[in-house]
Amino acid sequence: MINRRHFNKILVGSVALSFAACSSITSVSLPTDKKRVVIVGGGFGGATAAKYLKKFSPETEVILIEQNKEYYTCPFGNTVIAGLNDIEYIKHNYKTLESKYKIKVIHEKVKKVDGETNTVILENGEKIAYHRAIVSPGIDFKYEKGYVKGSEQYSPHAYKAGAQTLLLRKQLEEMKDGGTYVMVAPANPFRCPPGPYERISLVANYLKKNKPNSKIIILDQKNKFSKQGLFQEGWEKLYKDMIEWRSAEFGGEVLEVDPKNRIIKTEDEDVKADVLNYIPNQKAGKLAFDSGLTDGDWCPVNTKTFESKLIKNIHVIGDASIASKMPKSGFSANSQAKIAALQIVRLLKNKDIVNPPKLANTCYSLIAPNYGITVAAVYEAHEDGIIAVPGAGGLSPMNADESYRIQEAEYAVAWYENQMADIFS
């Protein structure tokens, strides 16, 4: 028999359940009094788009779906691997986006963005309708030549920051003095073109201090790389004879890899590593393929709005999109997110889009904690793609003096902290 006390408990529980159900239904059904934009992916692209949509149009309902409650940035992840920063330095969360900007953040895995029904389908079966969607799925890896899923536990790529970052750092710390650190650098296109070479630089900085008899070999799947002259000048000055770079044309191309035993087969020889940092070739994140947004490995977009060329009302930004000449970088994703947010707000209000939109990219790399280099560019988006604006931007000069490199290293830290403040604060 139910007494009064138990009845009240059930009543309270029912009210709470009803409220939860209503909250869920509210998020699923389209609102009648305002527009809704659903964003999938909470990295440089997605989190920036969410914040700037609210800044441009506070009345728009913005829902950000990101399965992880914490986000570890790839930029400055190399400083964690080399022991210059703790992992906490690159960890960020979404609390300010929720509390200050009133963005609804849902931590669930997305199964698919369905362009036919204009809904985002979650792994738990829930469907969330949208007027416009932004997809920022980042990258996924090509498993080939013996490097299969699970190989990361022996030969980490550490190209998605977090657990892999810490594993590679641990392996580096445990490597004997006189050991060989081997990196396999990916073929174009891939996330953060200077990233592998900054990593090698900072690994060399660590080894020079702690294990000076060690050496580094880079087996590259291409014949040249971003900021090559500046990196090689820095290596010659700071780490003379420690780093050996082999281009694809001259012994760098990998034919097969044994990740567990850390052996790489090339045309010339089998290379044995004490630490093998294998960075696979890359493609758009899995969600882009599951949602039908890809043509080949990447997502074609109208570069003025970043709306998919394949599915209406879905915008793809960041590493997954085809936005050349812009490199796949955190700053590019941040810049594309702002343009996508601005154009979406104008489209939802039946206004003309900004034409042509201007975008930018700036990329700092550390060759040592007090030795920085940079490249920057400004772009315009046109009907036939994105072009660099002549005379805007530039590259660090060769043969710069010590004070110049120190200053650029300080700018690099400021760049990172300002980017994080721009996105998450």
Average pLDDT in the 38-54 region? 98
Distances (CA, A) of 395 to 79, 161, 364, 375: 22, 27, 10, 4
**Among 11-15, 39-43, 311-315, 361-365, where is mean pLDDT lowest?**
11-15
* DSSP letter string, 197-258: HHHHHHHHHHHHHH-TT-EEEEEESSS--TTHHHHHHHHHHHSTTTEEEE-IIIII-EEEEE
CATH 3.50.50.60 fits 171-280, yes or no: yes
Give the residue with greater pLDDT, 8 vs 234.
Answer: 234
**In this structure, what is the dihedral angle of CA atoms 332, 139, 186, 294, given to the nearest 10 degrees?**
-100
Q: 123: buried, middle or exposed (CB in 10 Å: 19+, 13-18, 0-12)? A: exposed
Q: Is the pLDDT of residue 3 over 90?
A: no
- Evaluate if residue 6 carries a pLDDT over 90: no
Specify the pairing of strand 139-141 against strand 282-284: antiparallel
Q: Where are the domains of the chain?
A: 36-67+108-141+283-419, 171-280
Mean pLDDT of the chain: 93
**Beta bridge mates, 70:** 93
pLDDT, position 91: 98
CATH fold match for the domains 36-67+108-141+283-419 and 171-280: yes
Looking at domain 36-67+108-141+283-419, does it have CATH number 3.50.50.60? yes
pLDDT digits (tens, 9 = 90+) for 390-416: 999 999 999 999 999 999 999 999 999
Q: What is the pLDDT of residue 8?
A: 41
Give the E-state strand segments of 6-83 in sequence order: 36-40, 61-65, 70-72
Identity of the residue numbered 229: G
As a whole number, mean pLDDT of residues 193-208 equals 98
pLDDT at 109 over 60: yes
Convert the pLDDT of each residue in 22-42 to its tens digit. 344 345 788 888 999 999 999
**pLDDT at position 12 over 80:** no
- Pair of tokens at residue 174: 């445990």
Q: What is the spatial distance between Cα 265 and Cα 289, in angstroms, rounded to a whole number? A: 31
Confidence of residue 182 (pLDDT cuts 50, 70, 90): very high
Tokens (6 digits) for 187: 């073929």
pLDDT tier at 66 (50, 70, 90 boundaries)? very high
What pLDDT is recorded for position 32? Answer: 86
Chain-centre distance of CA 390, in angstroms? 27
